Amino acid sequence: MDKLLESTRNAVNETAAFIRSETGKVASGQIEEKFLNGLVSYVDRTAEEMLVERLSKLLPDASFITEEETVTQSSGNGLKWIIDPLDGTTNFLYGVPHFSVSVALQSDNDLILGIVHHVPADEQFYAMKNGGAWCNGERINTSARTQMRQALVSTGFPYHNFSRAEGWFGALRQFMEQGRGARRYGSAALDLAWVACGRFDIFFEYGLNSWDVAAGALLVKEAGGQVCDFSGGSLFIEKKELLATNGGIFDAAMDIIRHNFAN
């Protein structure tokens, strides 16, 4: 596993370097809108192809779930790579320096490896199951804060699925009233990495896909935090909803989520 992690990290580094080299070069005519507010360019697709090519050599029998669907998507269990080649595409295209590469490896339903690379800052967060969480060679942990009044909250705005917006607004209001502040940067994978390293204390969002959260969820767990769906269970990928916190604020955050997403 150590060698696999090292090789996967190298593949992510190469992909991040490519994305960095293309920053500011994408013309308006090279941008597509896949769905409402969902942008994509050749950079996303090329980055995904790079990752698929390199990861296929590391584990020839593994399948893939990828955002841009440049490879046949998995429908079963076994070893599975879960890839977002560019999480925060809108930020990337608009010159906002907050976007990332996210790669996770799942064995059946168990996340066993995760990497989130903050491309502009060249920070790579990575974890293996039962191996702790790390950033650029340094061990990371979730924050030690225990009071909601101290908590810095991160979230993602609904941008095409507004079916649960009322609950989201209610939860955000309570977090703002009870916490220290709220932030929305536009890369769920990176938000989770920042919970893992203690920059944020809480992250919540709905309408998420597996490639948005798989790697980041493992980072939070291995850094000492907690991750769950809005009912407090473990089906955050299946339900496309996620709450992640440090260990000390989980119960208070869960109360807010349950109150606003009771249905």
Domain of residue 181, CATH code: 3.40.190.80
Q: Are residues 50 and 73 in the same domain?
A: yes
Q: Do residues 28 and 63 both lie within one domain?
A: yes
CA distance 189 to 231: 21
- pLDDT attached to residue 207: 93
- C-alpha distances in Å from residue 215, one per residue of 82, 95, 129, 145, 178: 8, 24, 11, 23, 29
Residues 62 and 134 both lie in one domain: yes
Single out the residue of 57, 68, 50 nearest to residue 14, CA to CA.
Answer: 50
Domain end: 94, 118, 140, which one?
A: 140
165-178 and 250-260 are packed helices; what angle lies between their axes, rounded to 10 degrees? 140
CA distance 145 to 247: 8
Same structural domain for residues 109 and 233?
A: no
Same structural domain, 120 and 172: no
Over 239-260, what HEC string results? HCEEEEECCCCHHHHHHHHHHH
Question: What is the residue range of 211's domain?
Answer: 148-260
Mark whether 93 and 176 lie in a shared domain.
Answer: no
**Are residues 158 and 122 part of one domain?**
no
CATH number at residue 73: 3.30.540.10
204: left (phi over 0), alpha (psi -120 to 50) or beta: beta
Q: Within this chain, do residues 110 and 183 fall inside the same structural domain, yes or no?
A: no
Per the CB < 8 A criterion, the answer to whether 186 and 93 are in contact is no
Q: Give the count of domains, the chain.
A: 2
Looking at the fold, whether 124 and 167 belong to one and the same domain comes out as no
Same domain, 62 and 183: no
Of 109, 140, 171, the residue at which a domain comes to its end is 140
In this structure, the answer to whether residues 51 and 180 fall within a common structural domain is no
Which parts of the chain sit beneath pLDDT 50?
none
Cα-to-chain-centroid distance, residue 216: 4
Specify the length of the chain in residues: 263
Report the C-alpha gap between 94 and 89 in whole angstroms.
Answer: 9
Q: 156-162 long-range CB contacts below 8 Å, 24 or more apart? A: 156/184, 156/186, 156/188, 156/191, 156/205, 156/207, 156/208, 157/184, 158/206, 158/207, 159/36, 159/37, 159/38, 160/35, 160/36, 160/37, 160/38, 160/207, 161/206, 161/207
Domain boundary among 101, 122, 140: 140
Closest by Cα among 47, 132, 133 to 89 = 47
Same domain, 46 and 17: yes
82-119 pLDDT, tens per residue? 999 999 998 999 999 999 999 999 999 899 999 999 99
